[in-house]
Amino acid sequence: MNDIIIWVTSYFGLVLSVFWILIIVVNEKKFYHKHEVKKIPSVTLIIPSMNGAKVISETIKALLKLNYPKNKLEIIIAPNNCTDNTEEVARRFLSKRLKVISVKIPKGKRGKAYAVNYCLKHAKGDLVGVLDDDSVLEKDAVLTMVHYFEEPNTASVCSTCKVYKPKNILEKIQSIEYVIAAFSKKLLASIDSLFITPGSLSVYRKNILKKIGGFDEQNLTEDIEMGVRLNHLGYDVRLELDSISYTKVPRTVKDYHHQRIRWSRGFYQTVIKHRDMLLKWKHGLLGAFILPIILLVTSLGMISIAIFGYRQFTLIFASILTALDLKSDFLASQSAISIFSVSTVWAIFMLLSILAFFFMYKSYVHVKDNWKYPFSMLIFLFVYGILWPGYSIAGLLYETLNLERKWHR
Amino acid sequence: MNKARLLIASILIATIIFVAGLFSGWAFDRYRSNILFEETRVNELNTESFVTEQLFLEHFEEESCDILSGRVPEMQENLREVGAKLAKLDRSKSFDINDFNYLKRKYFIQEVQFLSIIMDLNKNCESNYDIILYFYDPYQAKSISQGQILDAVSADRNYELIVLSFDGTYYDEPLLNLLVRKYHISELPTLVINNENLGSGLIGIEKIEEKLDLDVETN
């Protein structure tokens, strides 16, 4: 049975890998097809903030430098349930085009989603951009996105999110992950299946956002839920590689852990909410293939890693036992190592690593980032991936056990 | 290429790669099984030839023991090689089950034949081969460790030490029941050194060598 699970996982893993490679080959040239914008639309940028006094100045300064017609850009800062002086900091930047709307979040509602929905009523722009209080935008971030809204079915356009000034190894690893994630999102968008509208900067068509009732105020990851919902309702979500936004990522393992658990739980919350999309071709590739295969490969991947891990653990444990018994005679330990160094599972692992390297290369080319942090890259390639199914199962467990939902940055 | 075609193409390509992988695996297994069949046949012939030689040499009493002992290392080495290959196949789980069972039974029988030959040599030719019978479970960590310990022990002692491994979970072979009854095997792994059951559980290199040295002094 164990072997069947590993074989099935390998098969679907292979299908997914071939699928990605084909998307790259077929769509690569279309990534940079630029349209001239006939009429620049008006945009309102909403920045909800809870206790973001330390970071919001930098965010606002970058917004004020945006290369976008001043008469078509409105900025709303929305401090919500703050216990620090976020509002006071934001008010220092008050002007004709920058408003501060303080929002009181009712109990049981998700702050960011509620604050954005509240501000939506006050937004004047045809488009509404939502960004986190710690996002820093490049000058052309908004201007480069808007051409997509000339396609009538586009409901949202996402920016390419990168990590802001990574310092420690955890941040550097995440910066690599974000480059790859941005490229993956571009690939998903090219097959009309992008299901995340990242919080670092996503712009929406205001009338659609209002029509569908705004953000889900209960969901732990309102950006995933929004992306899936837009797809569910038949709208397109796009990503612009030239629109760059920077975000701050968790610096400590504890913060990272909380964030990933939240993401994972939010994903399952969303999939459960939109379960009627699954395996139905009328919801496009996202419903028919992408979401089901993500669920399948992650769950089978978790089981396979558990089986593989258990097998290797018993071998290593046996070697340790032997070495202890032999009083430092390493001969026995070496023969145990030779057993798994030639195993098929390692061959599959190496093949997947090569594919991952290819994918990483393509990501750096298209996201136009420099190759840096070689040590972090090695960790990312050979170790970091194991965490994903781990967090996936943890999120599923938390959600199944219905543990208290807390929001962590 | 539209989305449905993209998906179908991915499934087709992945299936082709997967089937090609399975086919090459199967072809390699056939190749390995042919080699193993060949080696087993050679062992079978060697044993038969040894027994015939033994019968023939009974007419020339003086030289028979030396001549027969001279053939032990080769037989032992051949048997060890087949055993190691079978163990690898058992782990890979990609071998035709009927072929595997046939080869395993053959190997089992050849081991017991070889054991009888060695016991015969010890009894009639005053040879002093130490015999270790190792009963193991192929999927048990302790058994794997015990196997590694025995590898280390036999590496030091060359051909004076005969180690015969028996898969204690292989009940398809009736000969196993005979050995289990004879040596009172109740748990795995168990070591029987020169007909004495040392008990189950992991037995370290020092204890094994101590027992072997003691037997040498006694003899």
Residue the block writes with tokens 């006050």 = A122
CB contact under 8 A, B17 and A18: yes
Calculate mean pLDDT across residues B95-105: 78
Question: What residue in B sits closest to A314 (Cα-Cα)?
Answer: B141
Q: Which of A26, A281, A331 sits opposite B6 (nearest CB)?
A: A26
Three-state SS letters, chain B? CCHHHHHHHHHHHHHHHHHHHHHHHHHHHHHHHHHHHHHHHHHHHHHHHHHHHHHHHCCCHHHHHHHHHHCHHHHHHHHHHHHHHHHHHHHHCCCCHHHHHHHHHHHHHHHHHHHHHHHHHHHHCCCCCEEEEEEECCCCHHHHHHHHHHHHHHHHHHHHEEEEEEECCCCCCHHHHHHHHHHCCCCCCEEEECCEEEEECCCCHHHHHHHHHHHHHHC
What's residue A327's pLDDT?
Answer: 39
B187/chain A closest Cα distance in angstroms: 18
Q: Which of B10, B91, B152 sits opposite A329 (nearest CB)?
A: B152
Judge if B51 and B119 occupy the same domain: yes
Q: Which of A180-184, A293-297, A309-313, B96-100 has the lowest mean pLDDT?
A: A309-313
C-alpha dihedral (A61, A64, A65, A71), degrees to nearest 10: 180
Judge if B60 and B76 occupy the same domain: yes
What's residue B65's pLDDT?
Answer: 77
Q: Which of A279-283, B110-114, B154-158 has the lowest mean pLDDT?
A: B154-158
Calculate mean pLDDT across residues A373-380: 88
**Choice between A256 and B211, residue whose per-residue pLDDT is larger:** A256
Domain membership of residue B8 (yes or no) is no
Q: Is B19 on the interface with A (CB under 8 A)?
A: no
Judge if B82 and B66 occupy the same domain: yes
Q: Which of A152-161, A335-344, B63-72 has the lowest mean pLDDT?
A: A335-344
Return the residue in B22, B144, B191 with the most chain A beta carbons within 10 A, the one to mutate for interface testing: B144
Judge if B62 and B87 occupy the same domain: yes
Q: Which residues contact B61 (CB under 8 A, 6 or more apart)?
A: none
Residues B39 and B84: their CA atoms lie apart, in Å, by: 12
Question: What residue in A sits closest to B25 (Cα-Cα)?
Answer: A344
Chain B residues touching residue A332 (CB < 8 angstroms): 145, 148-149, 151-152
Of B126, B156, B189, which residue sits at a domain end?
Answer: B126
Q: Which of B191, B196, B197, B198 is CA-nearest to residue B168?
A: B191
**Choice between B200 and A159, residue whose per-residue pLDDT is larger:** A159
Domain membership of residue B166 (yes or no) is yes
pLDDT band at A311 (very low <50, low <70, confident <90, very high): low
pLDDT band at B23 (very low <50, low <70, confident <90, very high): confident
Domain membership of residue B21 (yes or no) is no
Q: Which of A202, A197, A180 is CA-nearest to residue A366?
A: A180
Question: Whole-angstrom distance between the N-terminal and C-terminal Cα of chain A?
Answer: 40
Judge if B118 and B134 occupy the same domain: no
Element (H, E) at B135: strand B130-136
Judge if B89 and B157 occupy the same domain: no
Question: What residue in A sits closest to B94 (Cα-Cα)?
Answer: A3
Return the residue in B145, B154, B191 with the most chain A beta carbons within 10 A, the one to mutate for interface testing: B145
Tell me the per-residue pLDDT of A312-361, one tens digit each, with 9 for 90 and over: 666 666 666 555 554 334 333 333 333 333 445 566 667 777 887 888 88
Q: Which two tokens stand for residue B172?
A: 């398809």
Residues B37 and A408: their CA atoms lie apart, in Å, by: 63
CB contact under 8 A, A22 and B10: yes
Calculate mean pLDDT across residues B192-213: 86
What's residue A318's pLDDT?
Answer: 61
For residue B160, the domain's CATH number is 3.40.30.10
Domain that holds residue B174: 128-219
Calculate mean pLDDT across residues A360-377: 86
Residues B1 and A315: their CA atoms lie apart, in Å, by: 47
Number of domains in chain B: 2
What's residue A264's pLDDT?
Answer: 92
For residue B92, the domain's CATH number is 1.20.58
Domain membership of residue B23 (yes or no) is no
Judge if B110 and B183 occupy the same domain: no
Judge if B183 and B205 occupy the same domain: yes
Q: Which two tokens stand for residue A237?
A: 């979500």
Calculate mean pLDDT across residues B180-200: 89
Judge if B109 and B133 occupy the same domain: no
Q: What is the mean pLDDT of chain A?
A: 86
Q: What is the mean pLDDT of chain B?
A: 82
Return the residue in A1, A5, A9, A18 with the most chain B beta carbons within 10 A, the one to mutate for interface testing: A18
Judge if B86 and B153 occupy the same domain: no
The residues spanned by each domain of chain A are 1-47+126-409
Residues B126 and B121: their CA atoms lie apart, in Å, by: 7
- The winner for highest mean pLDDT among A304-318, B2-16, B200-214 is B2-16
Judge if B137 and B53 occupy the same domain: no
Tell me the per-residue pLDDT of A77-117, one tens digit each, with 9 for 90 and over: 999 999 999 999 999 999 999 999 999 998 878 889 999 99
Tell me the per-residue pLDDT of B123-178, one tens digit each, with 9 for 90 and over: 888 788 899 999 988 878 788 888 888 888 887 776 688 999 998 888 777 888 88
Judge if B108 and B37 occupy the same domain: yes
